[in-house]
């Protein structure tokens, strides 16, 4: 009888004649989100009439929402896949229900209620995504057994590439561990980093979940090494860009952009046939072509027919992986406010970019603080005065300029955080904590608020439709309150547009560059939204109301800044600006929300945010006129950061875009 080895996605395959040692019969992994332990991945095995069966459970709770996943796979004695089954959740908002049965190179596939067959070319191994972690460990074993093929097909969909990236040594006081390091491309956007011990046992996987958030899955005995894994992943992520695709950041000590149409975001005026003279990465002068002296040794960049803008800002970034760097720059985003991240990871990313060993925008860090409780996010949590003060000092001492409040912070703790942050010269932004409203949070010391929903929540609304009458005295009082307290709002309209969209609609209407996105990203956006006619109708009305609020805030002098909360990498900044224009802002006003206004509120206006002598040379060149048609802002032809000239096409290739 033919011996079949069956197992459910954890453990390591022992193939007769294969030198790799078998892994333990059971194991336990700790699942983390933003370095906070939120669940476990466990496996055990048993034998039955078919062979060796490995059983896996992948479970975690993310901000109160349970996510559960189970897998199964069978391999024949040669280590080739025979069948596969995966069922359950991959995030709070996504599920998978796939099965594959192999008949040689023919795969009979079922995805949800759809069935089809596929003839596979070359080596193949069934994997449905980033989770569970040990599926990727098994994938590596298969890759090794097949002599490290350049590409492996991963039914139901896609393919991956795997690279052996060397070894790392980790040590405790009495023991050293030598780990083999790999990176895998194709299961998520960009590169995953994975370590195994010399026996092939998975030690750690650094990845991104189906929401695009950072996730780490660590063998329980390696839990103490997690901060080292995170920092190593940041460094390697910056180094793992395909060198053949890496753009040459062309630097000229003296550069003159000539015959440009320059937008002055301070005076709201246009300077035609202009010269921008750049020396040593700084703007030296801006003026008419006939009036500016251009040194003989200057590199000339002819901008005839182009519009020059200050580099754009994203005031609600989550820089979760290295690929965000070139994706942002390709879209002309030269500065981001990182609105809450893993402490070790974002510190390392910022360091590598600043030292020019990584590619990306300027990063201003807002350190996240949450309260303890079932909905807490991250490991920096504070419920007491001592915890709050210690957290604020930690961020200040590590170059953070702002604190981001998250949803579980207690009202008394919020006052302490804001007071200490202000004492240290920091500002406070974030969510409005549960049990509080926006006015109470502002009275407690918050300077800025993320997401337009929190403004919506305190406005008086029509009970049946949710629409807002801005001439109502209660709503007039709310607007006055925001203005009197100089509150800054980043509305993140683009995120709500995604959530409220009909999944039956063509997503390219919202994002015309959708087809250029890396393949692993596309399903995440296509499935975001709703198919319910009632929910679609409610969403359209809510979106219109949100846009009306943005228009009312702008008309009444409340400060708005463009923030995306991720979305389509880089491109979402364009969409956010477009939505502001659709809400009623002029193109110039919308552009200001992504240039000079964020520079002012983040105390960077002396060096960034506009095209003026003495400021850093962070600029973008656009084909066409965005003041005539705001969608022209997408036509970025060249990007300059710190005086270095980048090609957007090369940057996109570097980040894995088509």
Quote the pLDDT of residue 75: 78
- Tell me what pLDDT residue 25 has: 76
Above 80 in pLDDT, residue 539?
Answer: yes
pLDDT of 356: 83
Q: Which CATH code, of 2.60.40.1180, 3.20.20.140, 3.40.50.300, 1.20.20.10, is assigned to 312-608?
A: 3.20.20.140
Expressed in percent and rounded to 5, the helix, strand and coil fractions of the chain are: 30, 35, 40
Upper half-sphere CA count for residue 477 (Cβ side, 13 Å): 7
Largest Cα–Cα separation, the chain: 90
CA distances from 498 to 281, 328, 575 (A): 38, 19, 11
Q: Is the pLDDT of residue 212 over 80?
A: yes
pLDDT confidence band for 122 (50 / 70 / 90): very high
pLDDT band at 243 (very low <50, low <70, confident <90, very high): low
Torsion sign across C-alpha atoms 621, 624, 627, 633: negative
Distance CA 375, CA 352 (A): 32
Instruction: Over range 202-215, report the average pLDDT.
Output: 92
pLDDT digits (tens, 9 = 90+) for 324-364: 999 999 999 999 999 999 999 999 999 999 988 789 999 99
Average pLDDT over all residues of the chain: 92
Look at 513 and 465; give whichever has higher pLDDT: 513
What pLDDT, on a 0 to 100 scale, did the predictor assign at position 13?
36
Give the integer Cα–Cα distance in Å for 576 and 495.
Answer: 9
Per-residue pLDDT, averaged over 414-419, amounts to 98
| pLDDT confidence of residue 288 | 96
Nearest alpha-carbon partner for 427 in 251, 601, 206:
601
Backbone angles phi, psi at 376, to 5 degrees: -70, 150
Q: What is the pLDDT of residue 49?
A: 61
- Name the one residue in this structure whose structure tokens are 């509150």: 487
The domain segmentation of the chain, as residue ranges, is 5-239, 250-310+609-658, 312-608
Q: Is the peptide bond preceding residue 156 cis, with omega within 30 degrees of 0?
A: yes
Q: ∠ CA(57), CA(62), CA(67), 5° rounding?
A: 35
- Hey, what CATH class is 250-310+609-658 in? mainly beta
In this prediction, residue 22 has a pLDDT band, given cuts at 50, 70 and 90, of: low
User: Could you tell me which residue, 523 or 627, shows the higher pLDDT?
Assistant: 627
Give the model's pLDDT for residue 52. 67
* Two domains, one topology: 250-310+609-658 and 312-608: no
Which stretches does DSSP call E strand in 486-555? Answer: 488-490
- Asked whether residue 621 carries a pLDDT value surpassing 60, the answer given is yes
Bigger pLDDT: 655 or 7? 655
Q: Where do we find the tokens 């952009």?
A: 257
Q: Is the pLDDT of residue 81 over 90?
A: no
**Average pLDDT estimate for 596-602:** 98
Of residues 76 and 31, which shows the higher confidence score? 31
CB-CB contact of 276 with 301 (8 Å): no
pLDDT for position 10 = 34
pLDDT, position 358: 84
Pairing of strands 176-185, 159-171: antiparallel
Question: Quick one: average pLDDT of 553-571?
Answer: 97
Segment 532-553 mean pLDDT: 96
Cβ atoms within 10 Å of 199's Cβ, excluding its own: 12
pLDDT value at residue 51: 56
Query: Which residues have CB under 8 Å from 471's CB, separation 6+?
Result: none
41-59 pLDDT tens trace: 998 776 766 656 678 899 9
Q: How far apart are CA 634 and CA 511, in angstroms?
A: 10
Give the angle 146-148-151 at the CA atoms, nearest 5°: 95
- Alpha-carbon distance 350 to 343, whole Å? 11
Which residue has better confidence, 77 or 548?
A: 548
Q: Give percent of the chain with pLDDT exceeding 70.
A: 94
Does 545 have pLDDT greater than 90?
yes
pLDDT of residue 416: 98
Q: Is the pLDDT of residue 272 over 80?
A: yes
**Nearest of 499, 563, 529, 521 to residue 208 by alpha carbon:** 521
């Amino acid at each position: 009888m033919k011996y079949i080895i069956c197992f459910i996605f954890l453990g390591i395959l022992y193939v007769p004649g294969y030198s790799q040692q078998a892994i333990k019969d059971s194991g336990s992994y700790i699942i983390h989100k933003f370095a906070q332990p939120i669940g476990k991945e466990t496996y055990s095995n048993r034998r039955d009439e078919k062979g060796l069966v490995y059983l896996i459970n992948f479970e975690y709770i993310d901000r109160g929402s349970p996510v559960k996943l189970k897998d199964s796979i069978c391999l024949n004695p040669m280590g080739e896949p025979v069948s596969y089954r995966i069922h359950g959740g991959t995030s709070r908002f996504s599920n998978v229900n796939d099965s594959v049965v192999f008949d040689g190179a023919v795969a009979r596939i079922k995805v949800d209620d759809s069935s089809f067959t596929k003839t596979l070319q070359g080596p193949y191994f069934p994997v449905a995504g980033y989770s569970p972690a040990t599926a990727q460990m098994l994938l590596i074993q298969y890759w090794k057994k097949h002599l490290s093929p350049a590409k492996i097909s991963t039914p139901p969909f896609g393919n991956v590439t795997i690279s052996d990236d060397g070894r790392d040594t980790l040590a405790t006081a009495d023991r050293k561990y030598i780990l083999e390091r790999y990176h895998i491309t194709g299961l998520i956007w960009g590169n995953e980093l994975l370590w195994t011990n010399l026996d092939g046992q998975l030690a750690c996987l650094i990845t991104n979940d189906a929401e695009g958030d950072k996730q780490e899955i660590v063998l329980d005995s390696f839990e103490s090494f997690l901060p080292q894994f995170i920092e190593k992943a940041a460094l390697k992520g910056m180094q793992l860009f395909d060198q053949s695709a890496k753009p040459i950041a062309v630097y000229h000590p003296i550069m003159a952009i000539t015959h440009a149409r320059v937008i002055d975001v301070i005076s709201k005026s246009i300077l035609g046939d202009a010269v921008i003279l750049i020396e040593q990465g700084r703007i030296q002068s801006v003026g008419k072509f006939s009036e500016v002296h251009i040194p003989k040794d200057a590199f000339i960049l002819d901008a005839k027919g182009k519009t020059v803008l200050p580099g754009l800002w994203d005031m609600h970034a989550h820089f979760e992986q290295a690929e965000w760097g070139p994706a942002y720059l390709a879209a002309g985003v030269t500065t981001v406010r990182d609105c809450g991240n893993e402490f070790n990871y974002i510190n390392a990313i910022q360091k590598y970019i600043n030292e020019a060993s990584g590619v990306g925008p300027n990063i201003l860090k807002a350190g996240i603080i949450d309260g303890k409780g079932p909905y807490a996010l991250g490991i920096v949590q504070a419920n007491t005065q001592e915890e709050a003060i210690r957290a604020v000092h930690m961020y200040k001492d590590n170059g953070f300029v702002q604190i981001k409040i998250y949803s579980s912070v207690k009202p008394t703790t919020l006052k302490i955080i804001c007071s200490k942050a202000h004492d240290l010269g920091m500002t406070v932004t974030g969510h409005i904590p549960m049990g509080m409203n926006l006015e109470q949070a502002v009275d407690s010391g918050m300077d800025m608020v993320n997401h337009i929903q929190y403004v919506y929540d305190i406005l008086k609304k029509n009970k049946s439709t949710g629409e807002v009458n801005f001439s109502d005295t209660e709503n007039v009082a709310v607007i006055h309150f925001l203005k009197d307290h100089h509150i800054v709002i980043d509305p993140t309209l683009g995120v709500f547009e995604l959530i409220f969209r009909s999944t039956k609609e063509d997503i390219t209407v919202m994002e015309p560059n959708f087809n250029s996105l890396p393949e692993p990203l596309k399903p995440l956006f296509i499935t975001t939204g709703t198919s319910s006619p009632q929910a679609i109708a409610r969403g359209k009305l809510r979106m219109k109301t949100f846009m009306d609020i943005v228009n009312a805030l702008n008309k009444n002098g409340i400060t708005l800044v463009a923030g995306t909360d991720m979305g389509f990498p880089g491109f979402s900044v364009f969409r956010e600006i477009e939505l502001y224009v659709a809400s009623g802002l002029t193109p110039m006003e919308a552009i200001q929300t992504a240039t000079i206004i964020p520079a002012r509120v983040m105390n960077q206006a002396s060096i960034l945010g506009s095209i003026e002598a003495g400021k850093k040379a962070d600029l973008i060149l656009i084909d066409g006129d965005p003041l005539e048609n705001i969608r022209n802002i997408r036509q970025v032809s060249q990007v300059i950061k710190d005086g270095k000239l980048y090609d957007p096409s090369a940057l996109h290739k570097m980040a894995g875009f088509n």
